């Protein structure tokens, strides 16, 4: 369902280290080798149920990554919203639902968000949702070219570029304030 809906929008993969996928089998192989085998990763389809005809439409993907039950922490990632649903209620609600679940139901202490430093739209969206910018980790990740990245220097992965990563988080000790603001944002739509 997501592969079919996303194949017309290869630009949604600009800031992530995977995709775009040329076939459904390539997409499913990525799901198998990156998501299904890793118990710290969960992937969700994002459905828009606001269509006047009542039809559910695939609006994107979102996941939880680097989940650590021992440390009561997780990361919201793989936030891929299809262009027809960008700048709508969809991302706010998808992230909001995960935050309420992680912090209220699962009792997580920390939910983080990471983004390429150059992907201002991503980390600014996180800030609007209540995440606090904590740091920029320089050269945190190697990225295959031609992904948007900093040019490589001569090293072991010189055919790859890299990225500086903005790290943001919501923690349990500021969740009360963030929760009220997020609930207001979600109620507007």
Tell me the CA distances in angstroms from 164 to 20, 30, 167, one per residue in order: 22, 24, 10
Q: What is the pLDDT of residue 185?
A: 93
pLDDT tens digits along 108-158 = 999 999 999 999 999 999 999 999 999 999 988 887 777 766 676 666 666
Q: To the nearest whole number, what is the mean pLDDT of the chain? A: 91
Average pLDDT for residues 161-184, to the nearest whole number?
A: 94
Q: What is the pLDDT of residue 45?
A: 96
Is residue 81 scored above 80 in pLDDT? yes
pLDDT tens digits along 18-64 = 889 999 999 999 999 999 999 999 999 999 988 888 889 999 999 99
Percent of the chain with pLDDT over 90: 76
**Confidence at 189, pLDDT banded by 50, 70, 90:** low
Pairing label, strands 42-48, 57-68: antiparallel
Average pLDDT for residues 79-98, to the nearest whole number?
A: 95
Percent of the chain with pLDDT over 70: 93
**Under CATH, which architecture does the 2-187 domain have?**
3-Layer(aba) Sandwich (3.40)
What gap in Å lies between CA 37 and CA 31, rounded to an integer? 9
Pairing label, strands 73-81, 132-144: unpaired
What gap in Å lies between CA 168 and CA 120, rounded to an integer? 13
């Amino acid at each position: 369902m997501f592969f079919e809906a996303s194949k017309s929008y290869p630009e949604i993969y600009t800031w992530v280290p995977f995709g775009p996928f040329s076939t459904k089998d390539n997409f499913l192989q990525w799901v198998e080798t990156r998501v299904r085998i890793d118990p710290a990763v969960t992937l969700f389809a994002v459905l828009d149920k606001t269509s006047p005809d009542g039809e559910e439409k695939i609006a994107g993907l979102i996941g939880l990554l680097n989940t650590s039950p021992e440390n009561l922490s997780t990361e919201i990632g793989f936030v891929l919203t299809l262009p027809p649903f960008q700048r709508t209620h969809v991302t706010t609600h998808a992230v909001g639902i995960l935050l309420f679940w992680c912090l209220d139901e699962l009792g997580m202490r920390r939910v983080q968000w990471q983004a390429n430093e150059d992907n201002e739209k991503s980390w600014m969206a996180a800030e609007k949702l209540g995440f606090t910018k904590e740091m920029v980790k320089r050269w945190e990740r190697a990225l295959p070219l031609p992904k948007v990245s900093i040019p490589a220097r001569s090293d072991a992965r010189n055919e790859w570029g890299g990225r500086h990563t903005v790290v943001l988080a919501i923690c349990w000790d500021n969740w009360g304030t963030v929760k009220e603001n997020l609930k207001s944002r979600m109620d507007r739509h």
